[in-house]
Chains A and B, each alone.
Chain A
Amino acid sequence: MRLVSAVAVALSLVVAASIGDGSEPVRLTTDGRLKFSPSFEPDGKAIIYAELEKPTLLKLMRLNLESGKTSVLHSSASMSEFEPACSRESPIYAFARLKGTLSVGIAIRNRETGDEVVIPPAEGFSGLRSPAVSSDGKHVAYVFPDGGGERLMSVAADGTDRRELADARSFNNWPDFSPDGREIVFSSTRDGNYEVYVMPADGGVAQRLTNSPYQDIRPRFSSEGQQIAYTSHRDGNAELYVMDRDGTHVRRLTDHLERDDYPTWNPRDSEIVAICERDGRHDLYAIPVGEE
């Protein structure tokens, strides 16, 4: 258990000022360990993320924003778990779990009941990845590597009704459901390198939202669905950007020589939480998002 500065937590809960008013990211964790993939719980009071607990093990951690304490989410987990994704409104969450040698499946778990469904990897070396859960907790999207590309898939939360959303002729990764469940935003290399696209949640024609010679990845819908945050390398290293749902009004949120990555929206939309590297340490930071 680690105690985050009460001041820092309090600051993080302050409604953020608009971009350009001098507001600075607020550090939420302090241990500096390698971290990945934060995701807010539905009430916005806690964040789940993956952390390298020791050189051989990734664990899911939970940061309670009210107490400032972090704790291991699954204390009995002996295999690496990572890429957690929470539903916006339901107790369902999903994550990647190491099953064995070069073999990774997706676990879908109900926080309240502890019930769990596992989507197993294919035979042999296989790594499913990047789960996303719809707001109502009824659907889970994930990535299935196949045929030299990455296929976007969808299943019901009970593991049935498996469907292909995007084929494996390119890399398709980091899906995220819109709050109303009608669309999925994701990144794809179908036009050469990673760009951000949006498409109907049951598949279909994808609309391209970004166009950069460098990768635009990890898009995340805001809670109202009107904005999309993502990571882009377009300015020399990983920085955070926000754009409107249609790809317009692109705003850069961070400008730092070190890495800013893995954006996730606070359910109140006033801020994004991301993994920022500062002075060689990796911690969760709250970053204000104001009006354009």
Chain B
Amino acid sequence: MFGIGSFRARTCEGLTRRSFLQVASSLPLAGTLGNSLSAVHANEASRKGRAKSIIFVFLWGAPSHLDTCDPKPDAPAEFRGPFGVVPTRTPGVHFTELLPQMARRSDRFTLVRSHVTTAPGHPDAGTLALTGYEETKTPLQPNFGSIVARHRGHAAALPPFLSIANGIVMDSERRIEGYGGATLGRSHDPFLVGCREDGEVNIPALQLLDDVNPARISDRRRLSQQLDHVELAREAADPSAWTRTNGHAYDLLTNPQAKAAFDLARESPATRDRYGWTVFGQSALLARRLAEAEVPYIQLNYSRHVEAINPGFEFGWDTHIYNFELLQDWHCPILDRAYSALLDDLVERGLMDQTLVVCMGEFGRTPRISPRAARDHWPHCYFSLWAGAGIEPGRVIGESDARGEHPCTEPLSPLRVGTTIAELAGIDTENRAGLRVLDGGRPIEGLV
């Protein structure tokens, strides 16, 4: 199922009309669209590296490392928090009791516990997490996904960089600057896709005519009818009212294989169930379908907004209040289920070796519990999970100190994260220099 969202209403949230048209204009034309989604270039293998697709699970708002994947059960009470710990399948490593399924799957990923960042606030730290550089760097640097998209080019019907959220990720009213192409051009901005808890996919950029009915489509038969109507509407329209790029957008929507990638109703009920009927759960399933279609880079956002609980905002990981309640009642059960399902699904479909799954926030949270019985921003130590793309699983890289305040091994910056992703995507030092991106970055040892 997918709906066709409001293009005009989303100009401040999603792609602008201009940027979308640029994206669309760079898509392959109709002839190419008829080809397989997995069409390959002659030198594709070398360009793709080990990771044909990358799923970057962005825990926007920043989860507490102590309450999730780097607990400190022996720390004083004012640090360790109220949760017990459970053993993982990695010897000597524990998660909190909030993540039992992920703990049972630690043999499918590598845990990194020694990340640091330099930005203490969300917008800047978000940009840093997604680009490797602070927002104040001039010029603004591109999102890791834009780099991959630029390197791979548009080789299939689907855009090379999709971001799954109900708009560009934001902190309060401010969108994150590092969401897109920056120095590589707006044509490498992400293609935005929203997903509801019932799996209905919404593509805000694809409503181009007022008379195209954006009504929700409840099943595949109706989806087909809706898309037929779209094509008829296009054919009937005054040609002068259509630009070539408008047409490309509709080609994307009407390409059978492209639209199939967005149609979660093609999954078995059991598969949909295992991800959970939450926005993040069904979004994770959509990410897997896009990886299956070899979309080079998928940014899977846990929420559009960072805020834990603010009027008019989605519920994110920025838990300045209700940290322990929200993690226990809401975020951790949802993440535990969906992330575990994603890894299982990729393994069962034989996709894990060609798919890189990176899961992390933009920083950690204060090891010392705040006066509000919660945790605040902590850029000095946080974690990530790396799975697939040939990375040896079941390991731990880096270590934090006894209270989770600082790494006691080499600190790993966002630039190292981006460089590692690039290497695994086949973007080597020479490529990076040619693109003028990730300058000075080194991959994280043990992951490439």
Report B264-288 CB contacts with A as 1/0, cut-off 8 Å: 0000010011111111010000000
Which residue of chain A lies nearest to B308 when distances are taken between CB atoms in the complex? A102
Which residue of chain A lies nearest to B313 when distances are taken between CB atoms in the complex? A56
Given the contacts A98-B311, A193-B82, A214-B97, A280 and B373 also touching, CB distance less than 8 Å: no
Distance of B327 from chain A, by nearest CB (Å): 12
Which residue of chain B lies nearest to A193 when distances are taken between CB atoms in the complex? B84
Q: Collect the chain A residues with CB atoms within 8 Å of residue B309's CB.
A: 80, 98, 102, 104, 127
A148 located at the interface, meaning its Cβ lies under 8 Å from any Cβ of chain B in the complex: yes
B303 located at the interface, meaning its Cβ lies under 8 Å from any Cβ of chain A in the complex: yes
B78, B82, B324, B333: which has the most chain A beta carbons within 10 Å?
Answer: B82
Distance of A279 from chain B, by nearest CB (Å): 4
The answer on a CB contact under 8 Å between A280 and B277 is: yes
The answer on a CB contact under 8 Å between A127 and B372 is: yes
Which of these, A56, A170, A233, A280, contacts B77 with CB under 8 Å? A170
Given the contacts A127-B322, A127-B372, A79 and B82 also touching, CB distance less than 8 Å: no
Which of these, B273, B277, B373, contacts A148 with CB under 8 Å? B373
160-208 of chain A: CB within 8 A of chain B: 168, 170-171, 173, 189, 192-194
Distance of A173 from chain B, by nearest CB (Å): 8
Report B295-311 CB contacts with A as 1/0, cut-off 8 Å: 00000000110011111
Which residue of chain A lies nearest to B166 when distances are taken between CB atoms in the complex? A55
Distance of B387 from chain A, by nearest CB (Å): 21
The answer on a CB contact under 8 Å between A281 and B333 is: no
With the chains together, A127 CA to B311 CA distance in Å?
14
Distance of A149 from chain B, by nearest CB (Å): 6
Q: How many A-B residue pairs have CB under 8 A?
A: 118
Which of these, A52, A101, A149, A259, contacts B373 with CB under 8 Å? A149
Which of these, B82, B83, B321, contacts A125 with CB under 8 Å? B321
Report A51-66 CB contacts with B as 1/0, cut-off 8 Å: 0100110000000000
Which residue of chain B lies nearest to A99 when distances are taken between CB atoms in the complex? B311
Binds B, one of A5-13, A31-39, A40-48, A220-228: A31-39
With the chains together, A214 CA to B97 CA distance in Å?
7
Distance of B312 from chain A, by nearest CB (Å): 6
A237 located at the interface, meaning its Cβ lies under 8 Å from any Cβ of chain B in the complex: yes
A147 located at the interface, meaning its Cβ lies under 8 Å from any Cβ of chain B in the complex: yes
Q: Collect the chain A residues with CB atoms within 8 Å of residue B100's CB.
A: 236-237
Given the contacts A55-B166, A214-B97, A233-B97, A145 and B83 also touching, CB distance less than 8 Å: no
Which residue of chain B lies nearest to A214 when distances are taken between CB atoms in the complex? B84
Q: Collect the chain B residues with CB atoms within 8 Å of residue A236's CB.
A: 86, 100
A100 located at the interface, meaning its Cβ lies under 8 Å from any Cβ of chain B in the complex: yes
With the chains together, A192 CA to B76 CA distance in Å?
10
Count of residues in B whose CB is under 8 Å from the partner chain: 49
136-158 of chain A: CB within 8 A of chain B: 145-150
A27 located at the interface, meaning its Cβ lies under 8 Å from any Cβ of chain B in the complex: no
A20 located at the interface, meaning its Cβ lies under 8 Å from any Cβ of chain B in the complex: no
191-224 of chain B: CB within 8 A of chain A: 197
The answer on a CB contact under 8 Å between B82 and A127 is: no
Distance of B90 from chain A, by nearest CB (Å): 18
Distance of A198 from chain B, by nearest CB (Å): 19
A87 located at the interface, meaning its Cβ lies under 8 Å from any Cβ of chain B in the complex: no
B374 located at the interface, meaning its Cβ lies under 8 Å from any Cβ of chain A in the complex: yes
With the chains together, A25 CA to B394 CA distance in Å?
38
Given the contacts A55-B279, A56-B314, A213-B84, A171 and B324 also touching, CB distance less than 8 Å: yes
Q: Collect the chain B residues with CB atoms within 8 Å of residue A148's CB.
A: 78, 368-371, 373
Distance of A203 from chain B, by nearest CB (Å): 19
The answer on a CB contact under 8 Å between B77 and A102 is: no
The answer on a CB contact under 8 Å between A215 and B84 is: yes
With the chains together, A280 CA to B282 CA distance in Å?
10
Which residue of chain B lies nearest to A147 when distances are taken between CB atoms in the complex? B371
Q: Collect the chain B residues with CB atoms within 8 Å of residue A55's CB.
A: 166, 197, 279, 303-304, 314-315
Which of these, B97, B304, B337, contacts A280 with CB under 8 Å? B337
With the chains together, A106 CA to B13 CA distance in Å?
33
B238 located at the interface, meaning its Cβ lies under 8 Å from any Cβ of chain A in the complex: no
B228 located at the interface, meaning its Cβ lies under 8 Å from any Cβ of chain A in the complex: no
12 additional contacts, CB 8 Å, given A56-B315, A148-B368, A233-B97? A80-B309, A98-B310, A102-B309, A102-B321, A125-B320, A129-B325, A149-B373, A170-B77, A215-B83, A217-B328, A259-B333, A280-B278
Q: Across the A-B interface, give the 5 residue pairs with the lowest CB-CB distance, nearest first.
A: A145-B373, A127-B321, A280-B276, A279-B273, A280-B273
Residue positions of B touching A, CB distance < 8 A: 77-78, 82-84, 86, 97, 100, 166, 172, 197, 269, 272-279, 281, 303-304, 307-315, 320-322, 324-325, 328-330, 333, 337, 368-374
